[in-house]
Amino acid sequence: MRVSTRVEYGVQALAYIALYSENGTSVSTPEIAETQGISKKYLEQILPLLRQAGLIRAQKGLGGGYTLARQANGIRIADILNALDNSVLEDPAASGEKEGNELKNAIDECLWGRINRLLGGFAAENTLADLLRECRNRMANEYDMYVI
């Protein structure tokens, strides 16, 4: 499955904000851009989408930047995906034409519709906190290798 760079970078930026603003300090756009390898200009188009969805809060002034607007366990993956691109969780089988090609319609429902329902269920059941927990475990395991 492939999603747009807006969704990919938006999730990455939100996870970074969540991880590095836990102690109450805000995370700046240039910091996110530099550490995550995302264009600052592109990030400046993505972060307002997350703010408008109520996922992050902007703080102006010296030391300003972004923090989570609510607890990570209160932000569902579906909230994030819908904020960045509401077509990600849209059912392609439901929006297509139903006349004509019976095989195409059957595939749309049996394959793409089913995959989309699984994705929708996953996104509704899992939170940003779940994602961060798995990311922390993965990042910690990368440093468990010892070389002699």
- Going from the first residue of the chain to its last (148 residues), give the mean pLDDT of each consecutive group of 10, the final group possibly shorter: 88 96 91 96 97 96 91 96 90 64 89 90 96 92 63
Query: Of 62, 52, 65, 119, whose CA–CA distance to 88 is shortest?
Result: 119
pTM over 0.75: yes
pLDDT for position 109: 87
Q: Does domain 5-142 have CATH number 1.10.10.10?
A: yes
Please, which residues have CB within 8 angstroms of residue 62's CB and are 6 or more apart in sequence? Answer: none
Tell me how far apart the alpha carbons of residues 68 and 18 are, in angstroms, rounded to a whole number: 6
Tell me how far apart the alpha carbons of residues 41 and 97 are, in angstroms, rounded to a whole number: 38
Please, which residues have CB within 8 angstroms of residue 76's CB and are 6 or more apart in sequence? Answer: 123, 124, 125, 126, 127, 128
